[in-house]
Amino acid sequence: MTVLVLMRHGRTGFNAEGRLQGSLDVPLGDEGRADARVAAQALAREYGIPDRIVSSPLLRAADTAAELSAVTGVPAMPDARLTQRSYGAWEGLTWDEVRARWPEGYERRMRGLDPEIEGWGRARDVAERVAEGLIAACEGARLVVVVSHGSAIMLGSLALLGLDVHSQVLGKLPHAHWNVLEGGPGRWSLARYGHSAASSLAESLPEAD
């Protein structure tokens, strides 16, 4: 069995401003790097040394993975299949700007559907790409940590779990949080959802009498 930890990158300046990043290569902010460091320490404490760390090559994910590498001594390997979906013409805009200029596309997106805009990474295509990268990352490994992006993690997970890629059942994973899948090809299950350094610490504390 493989334990697959899927961690979302730390916050960036664009995240703080509510701007869509998609394929834009935005680095971590100071707060995001600090959150990534704390999350890396919690992951290492809870799961031990991973066999493999694989990351989206975009800076915000690579910078987050570097914090985990610093704690564990395991180098992070980039895989372009784990990069974020493209948001096309919406990249760099806030959701308010998107809603004002593309009201119908905005409503479709809020329902989990693909908006009909130029350059948008369609859910099925992204899910297949990310799932392929996740399966490759897990080959022959007991414990794998993948650092990626919110939509990429959600879509790749839905594909591995055999769920509709337009489903919103997995919600939105917060920054520097992680989900855990367990299993192997064709038999994955969701073991943990929305875990964080804070929840990891809380679980490790003894219960009060």
Q: Two tokens at 79?
A: 């895989």
Structure confidence by residue, pLDDT tens digits, 177-206? 999 999 998 899 999 999 999 886 656 545
Asked if residue 63 and residue 102 are part of one domain, the reply reads no
Asked if residue 128 and residue 199 are part of one domain, the reply reads yes
Q: What is the pLDDT of residue 200?
A: 66
pTM of the model: 0.93
Q: Two tokens at 165?
A: 């890629």
Domain count, the chain: 2
Q: How confident is the model at residue 208 (pLDDT cuts 50, 70, 90)?
A: very low
The residue from 103, 120, 137 where one domain ends is 120
CATH of the domain at 136: 3.40.50.1240
Please state, in angstroms and rounded to a whole number, the distance separating the CA atoms of residues 73 and 146: 15
Asked if residue 146 and residue 101 are part of one domain, the reply reads no
Asked if residue 48 and residue 148 are part of one domain, the reply reads yes
Asked if residue 180 and residue 131 are part of one domain, the reply reads yes
Asked if residue 146 and residue 199 are part of one domain, the reply reads yes
Q: Minimal CA–CA distance to 46: which of 69, 64, 66, 72?
A: 72
Q: Is residue 187 part of a domain?
A: yes
Domain that holds residue 181: 2-86+124-204
Asked if residue 148 and residue 59 are part of one domain, the reply reads yes
Structure confidence by residue, pLDDT tens digits, 56-98? 999 999 999 999 999 999 999 999 999 999 999 999 999 999 9
Structure confidence by residue, pLDDT tens digits, 113-158? 999 999 999 999 999 999 999 999 999 999 999 999 999 999 999 9
Measured between alpha carbons, how far apart are the two ends of the chain, in Å? 36
Q: Is residue 113 part of a domain?
A: yes
